[in-house]
Amino acid sequence: MFYRESGDFKTSYAKDTQTFPIKLDRIGYYVILAIAFITIPVMLITDVGGGANYWTNAILLPFLIWAIAAIGLNILVGYCGQLSLGSGGFMAVGAYAAYKLMTSFPDLSIFFIVIISGAITAGVGILFGLPSLRIKGFYLAVATLAAQFFLVWLFNKVPWFYNNSASGQISAPTRSIFGFEITGATATPEAKYLFCLVLLIGVAWLARNLTRGRIGRSWMAIRDMDIAAEIIGVAPLRTKLSAFGVSSFFIGIAGALFFAVYLGAVEVGEAFNINKSFLLLFMVIIGGLGSIFGSIIGAAFMVLMPVLLKNIMVNQLNWPTDIAVHFEFAIVGALIIIFLILEPHGLAQLWRLLKEKLRLWPFPH
Amino acid sequence: MKLTKLATFAVTAVMAASPVLADLVFPSLSYRTGPYAANGTPVADGFADYYTMLNERDGGIGGVMTKVIECETGYSTEKGVECYESTKGEGSLVYMPLSTGITYQLIPKVTADNIPMLTTGYGRTSAANGDVFSHVFNFPANYWNGASAAVNHFLEMADGDLSGKSIALVYHNSAYGKEPIRTLEELASKLGFDLTLLPVDHPGQEQKSQWLQIRRERPDFVLMYGWGVMNQVAIQEAANIRFPMENFMGIWWSGSENDVMAAGDASNGYKALTFHNVGTGFPVFDDIASYVVDAGKAAGTGEHVGTVLYNRGMYGAMLAAEAVKVAQRIHGVADITPAMMRDGLEALEITDENMAAIGFGGFGPNFKVSCENHGGPGLSAVIQWDSASQSWNVISDFAESDMSVIQPLIDADSAAYAAENNIASQCN
Amino acid sequence: MSANFFYTIEVIANGLMTGVMYSLVALGFVLIFKASGVFNYAQGVMALFAAMTLVGLQNGQIPFAHLINTIFGTHLDKFGWEVPTFLAIILALGVMIGFAFLVERYILKHLVNQDPIILFMATIGLAYFMEGFGDLMWGSDIKKLDVGLPQGGNVWLENATEGWANGFYGFYIDNLDMWATVIAVALVASLIAFSNYTKTGRALRAVADDNQAALSVGISLRKIWVIVWSLAGFVALVAGIMWGAKSGVQFSLSLIALKALPVLMLGGFTSIPGAIVGGMIIGVGEKLFEFAIGPYIGGATENWFAYVLALIFLVFRPQGLFGEKIIERV
């Protein structure tokens, strides 16, 4: 009743192939965009309740950035079926590329810095994607760990990457776009938020259109059965490597933002360790493999859950912080298992089921 | 998802909206969980217990109660951001993040927010140059002072001549572990010793290669910049290859009871640096015992009291409390703001008299902070582990390090930072 | 012969033994993967949990003491008795078997026939859960583990071989590593004997071969799963003891799983001998690389080199050295 797919007639091909062919979806999409682009920035500027900094830096930025990375990984794992645990290393490539670009070309706009960082990461990703032509499944997952450990070691070891600073920490200098500061300590919350939001929307739009086009279909053919795909004429080399490239491009953007906008200073072994790779994989799986929307809610879940638990246990119930964190671990772990048992196809599948239900509800037939 | 989002919004909105109480707020970005939990816990306990004691005994500082807000970072920079953002609105006076990574990340933020940060014995070494780093303080000693102090101790052991000797640095392969390398290289060329660098990757459970190399090359001295499980394994491996323990020295983060206990008797004679005293033989511990531990108000179980890391947490808390007193004197108000706290830290002077007055006589070195120098003179002492009595013994005075080598490095590194970030000199 | 030659041999010997230590962890992975196709990431945390339980039992620690104290304001700490090592090991093993039951009952049973990646993720969830739960139960301080294993270099060997070449200080072999090797050999031998000569063992192999066929001849899959998880728990306990003796029992113990992954890749996920041989190749490879090349490129290469080495092997043999040949049909 509330969610209707029927009665929505198309009179042109353009209309039939638009991203959201169903009117209701389209309206929902515009509403969310309006909230994201108008309501939230207004709240941040007016600083309702004095929490603008907290909300931006502790919740919104990590959510947006992880969502970009999750879309990237979902392309590789969810659409092309190549399991990767090297995402942390690829994020590090994005971060260090951004740092080198920022310090070498001080006048370059931050937008181009982020995009070029993504492109550099794409190159590295393609390189590390080469073994995927021979190695499959868990063997590939463990093989991508080679990328993870090697890249982290490299950035820690070669002083050129961190401009010979004594400790190897990299810090983001202030950079701006159209005169608005995006990085550095004095950047306003709304500027940082909007910058990341625009990138997320761009990435999601690009990913959505790639995945429903020719290249996306060949990814899915490889995922479903690579030998069969090869026989019907999908080139595995080009397809797998393009998935690695596109995926790493997005992950690289996320890495650059993670360093430059979110954290501001980064130490590679700590910020981009193996746990980041696992976290990202969780987002993709909890959200739903092969779903852009799923990646975004997966990221939201994994970012918000710990913060919510912490706020409840420490600030509301006044538990000691260590017990709260131990519980947080146990609860997050248990929730992951429960989710996988109840709905192995992720939150995106829950959403699809909900739509199914809403089609009829509240009427029985 | 929306619902939970709204719920968090409500929760944080309530939190943020609550009026700032007239308290002296000390945020404690601690880590009682994760790979470094065993080290983070006693530090956080010592920090919290000292303020509890001040509240119970003196009714706070200058008549204003203190309040410690604990926030768990798990040694992760992201949680560090979350903790910083969630506590800074509560009137936090000074941040002590207890992690080099979080320190680096907070330096620009605290400067922009006008809140001081005190990093005792860790953090960014070149922050000692107060002319550039207006809001960061790293007295009484930093990593480079530590490297120099260790070399000075080795120099003493080698009867004043290190030429032709060799020193191996076993270090945690991270920002923290890499800090002393440049200082040691300078010292090596000045004093004529050979330096071997042996990085150990996190977490450092497997160090066979490093110690086999030490066994082959037989360096005269080994200096360690380790943290967490790396320390225990290194000390065990050193004992295994029968390296003479008195020639093996750790920085202050590699010299706690945690590090030597696991190896048992084999760790007897191991040395470490420290910038404060150890044990409970100071009047202040009587007050800690009677007002905090016996009263059942201890942050932990009370079993850590007097251990190296507990004392370090307490020492940091004491320095901040003394700075509050200075700030109260300068500005003539009891309920100070973070900006006033910064002035207090910058005018802090620790002397024998004021240490004795608060029951800390002989606990730490004397020093004076100034606008240019936020790092103090960098005094540190050497302690040695005695496995029979299960205790650390101080075997030297608080001695100076070679500032003629360190100061140019500090100046160069801070100048580079100032240039990169367009920071003007704040002192003149 | 030059000292360098002997040192190279020393590095190889130590690499072999370190490799065996890795294999101890990898074995647990193989057991579970073989029988149920689950890539059990929680193996490292299981080792930590088993070792914590062992030490806690030995010292008579009260489980959840910190939590109980916080809620009820009590000051509980220890029961005041100490359990002898042997008994504590048996009890810890009992806990691990109980754990296997719970895992089967509450997780595996519900995830039958899911994609391998879902099962993998579920074990990571399990790892998170156990990290939190283990710390709540036994506390997060470093515990000294003492089950009477000898530590330190073998003095006899060192003295006997000293001076074989100019500047050679004698071979250094860690006693603990030698014990680990003996234990690992015994463990593998008994596992092989178990799977070849007992009825349960044969059932295990049948399930590993083809679980549909095994089901059809009346083997209870659920029972088999409990058994393999118990076995993996036992292996985790052994690995926890060996690694814990080195560094004390603490959180970082769970990270040894990462050292086992390249071993698995190289040896194949389904082969017990593969885990041992793979471990040795990785151990020798990473130690030799660090010894020969490490000093020129700045050291600390072991973590990534193990993976790169395994990767190189995989490019030539995508199923690992001893893994079952992957046959793909359309």
Residue B64, SS3? strand
In this model, does residue A323 exceed pLDDT 70? Answer: yes
| Any domain includes C223 | yes
Residue B18's pLDDT band (cuts 50, 70, 90): very low
B295 and B270 within one domain: no
| Domain membership of residue C256 as a residue range | 3-316
| Any domain includes B424 | no
Residue A365's pLDDT band (cuts 50, 70, 90): low
The DSSP 8-state label assigned to residue B89 in this structure reads: T
Chain A residues 63-92 with a CB less than 8 Å from chain C: 77, 83
In this model, does residue A68 exceed pLDDT 90? Answer: yes
| Any domain includes C328 | no
Mean pLDDT across B338-345: 91
B105 and B44 within one domain: yes
| Any domain includes C142 | yes
Q: Which residues on C lie below 8 Å from B199 (Cβ)? A: 298-300
Compare all CA atoms of chain A with the CA of C294 and give the residue at the minimum distance. A157
Look at C265 and A332 and tell me if their CB atoms are within 8 Å.
Answer: no
CB distance from C324 to chain B under 8 Å? no
Instruction: Please tell me the least confidently modeled range out of B70-74, C162-166, C230-234.
Output: C162-166
- pLDDT, tens digit (0-9, with 9 covering 90-100), for B284-303: 999 999 999 888 888 877 78
pLDDT at A1: 59
Amino acid at position C293, single letter: I
pLDDT at B1: 39
Q: Which residues on C lie below 8 Å from A326 (Cβ)? A: 132-133, 135-136, 140
Instruction: Please tell me the least confidently modeled range out of A20-29, A338-347, B152-161, B344-353.
Output: A20-29
Q: How far away is chain C from the Cα of B209, in angstroms, using its nearest Cα?
A: 6
In this model, does residue C286 exceed pLDDT 50? Answer: yes
| Any domain includes C324 | no
Mean pLDDT across A318-325: 82
B256 and B360 within one domain: no
Residue A252's pLDDT band (cuts 50, 70, 90): very high
B303 and B237 within one domain: no
| Any domain includes B416 | no
pLDDT at A49: 67
Q: Tokens 């550039």 map to which residue?
A: B132
Let me know the angle formed at the C-alpha of A202 by A199 and A203, rounded to the nearest 5 degrees.
Answer: 85
Instruction: Please tell me the least confidently modeled range out of A343-347, B365-369, C198-202.
Output: A343-347
In this model, does residue B4 exceed pLDDT 50? Answer: no
| Domain membership of residue B154 as a residue range | 143-274
Q: Cis omega (within 30 of 0) on the bond before B203? A: yes
In this model, does residue A269 exceed pLDDT 90? Answer: no
Mean pLDDT across C219-228: 88
Mean pLDDT across A60-86: 92
* Per-position DSSP letters for C239-268, written without gaps between them: HHHHHHHHH-BSGGGGGGHHHHHHHHHHH-
Residue spans per domain, chain A: 21-360
The chain-wide mean pLDDT, for chain C, equals 86
In this model, does residue B16 exceed pLDDT 80? Answer: no
Percentage of chain B lying above the pLDDT 90 cut: 36
Mean pLDDT across A235-263: 93
In this model, does residue B197 exceed pLDDT 60? Answer: yes
Domain count for chain C = 1
Q: Tokens 């003007």 map to which residue?
A: B424
CB distance from A150 to chain C under 8 Å? yes
How far is residue B115's CA from residue C41's CA, in Å, rounded to a whole number? 43
pLDDT at C51: 93
Contact criterion met (CB below 8 Å) for C147 and C85: yes
**Positive or negative torsion for Cα C41, C47, C53, C59:** negative
B132 and B185 within one domain: no
Q: Cis omega (within 30 of 0) on the bond before C116? A: no
Domain count for chain B = 2
B47 and B158 within one domain: no
Compare all CA atoms of chain A with the CA of C64 and give the residue at the minimum distance. A323
How far is residue B364's CA from residue B351's CA, in Å, rounded to a whole number? 9
Q: Which residues on A lie below 8 Å from B75 (Cβ)? A: 270
| Any domain includes B72 | yes
In this model, does residue A18 exceed pLDDT 70? Answer: yes
| Any domain includes B41 | yes
B325 and B213 within one domain: no
Half-sphere exposure of A21 (CA within 13 A, CB side): 13
Contact criterion met (CB below 8 Å) for B287 and B49: no
B268 and B299 within one domain: no
Contacts (Cβ under 8 Å, ≥6 apart) of A202? none
B135 and B149 within one domain: no
B208 and B123 within one domain: no
In this model, does residue B319 exceed pLDDT 70? Answer: yes
Q: Tokens 């799963």 map to which residue?
A: C225
Compare all CA atoms of chain C with the CA of B230 and give the residue at the minimum distance. C247
B238 and B183 within one domain: yes
Contact criterion met (CB below 8 Å) for A295 and A67: yes
How far is residue B45's CA from residue B305's CA, in Å, rounded to a whole number? 9
How far is residue A244's CA from residue B321's CA, in Å, rounded to a whole number? 54
pLDDT at B166: 93
Compare all CA atoms of chain C with the CA of A325 and give the residue at the minimum distance. C132
In this model, does residue A125 exceed pLDDT 90? Answer: yes
Chain A residues 279-308 with a CB less than 8 Å from chain C: 281-282, 285, 289
Instruction: Please tell me the least confidently modeled range out of A55-69, B387-401, C87-101, C105-119.
Output: C105-119
Q: How far away is chain A from the Cα of C123, in angstroms, using its nearest Cα?
A: 8
Residue C248's pLDDT band (cuts 50, 70, 90): confident
The chain-wide mean pLDDT, for chain A, equals 87
| Any domain includes C201 | yes
* Domain C-terminal end among B361, B376, B391: B376
Q: Which CATH number do you get for residue B366? A: 3.40.50.2300
B128 and B169 within one domain: no
Q: Identify the CATH class of A21-360.
A: mainly alpha
pLDDT at B13: 43
Mean pLDDT across B44-49: 92
Mean pLDDT across A244-253: 95
Question: What's the predicted TM-score (pTM) here?
Answer: 0.90
- pLDDT, tens digit (0-9, with 9 covering 90-100), for C154-188: 888 888 888 777 777 788 888 888 888 898 889 88
Interface predicted TM-score (ipTM) = 0.86
